[in-house]
Amino acid sequence: MTDSDKWLLRLYTAGQSPRSLVALENLRRICDEHLAGRYRIEVVDLLKNPRLAKDDQIVAIPTLVRQLPPPLRKIIGDLSDTERALVGLQLRKAKP
């Protein structure tokens, strides 16, 4: 796997809040189905360290940030709308 194939996805959560848990579960499922073997997930718990919200200018939780490949993309919410998540990650083109 080359560096250009790697996906680095950072999920901002708030401890065990219900939406955070759902987001993590949905993210893992999406990655297994669409990025198998070429992704890494970083979970940033903002309850433990709220200052980290500044790095990616996080406003609402959960929020997923695609760090790699560029460009940086941000998807707000628990990723339960798979279509919206895939479009947000640019794994699928938006329907016209």
Partner 1 sequence: MSEPRIDLLEAEELRKAIVGGEVDAFVVGRAEGNQKVLLLANAYQRYRQMVEAMQQGAVTISLEGHILYANQRFSDLLGIALSRLYTAPLQSYVGIADRARLSRFLAGGRRGDQLEIAFSSRDGTTVPTRLSIASYDGYASLLVTDLRPLEWARLAIEALDSIRNSVEQLNAQVRAEPPAKQALDSISEQINGLAQLIDALHAEPGRIDPRIDPNG
Binding mask 32-71 for partner 1 (x = CB under 8 A): --------------xx--xx-xx---xxxxxx--------
CA–CA distance from 59 to each of 4, 20, 23, 26, 56 (Å)? 29, 14, 16, 20, 9
Contact 23, 60 (CB under 8 A): no
Of 1-9, 11-19, 28-36: span binding partner 1 (CB under 8 A):
11-19
Residue 29 within binding range of partner 1, rule CB under 8 A = no
Query: Backbone phi, then psi, for 55, in 5-degree steps?
Result: -55, -45
CB of 37 to partner 1, least distance (A): 28
Q: Which residues pair with 9 in a beta bridge?
A: 41, 66
- Could you give the CA distance from residue 57 to residue 20 in angstroms, rounded to a whole number? 17
Binding mask 66-95 for partner 1 (x = CB under 8 A): --------xxxxxxxx--x---x-------
- By CB under 8 A, name the binding residues for partner 1: 14-20, 46-47, 50-51, 53-54, 58-63, 74-81, 84, 88
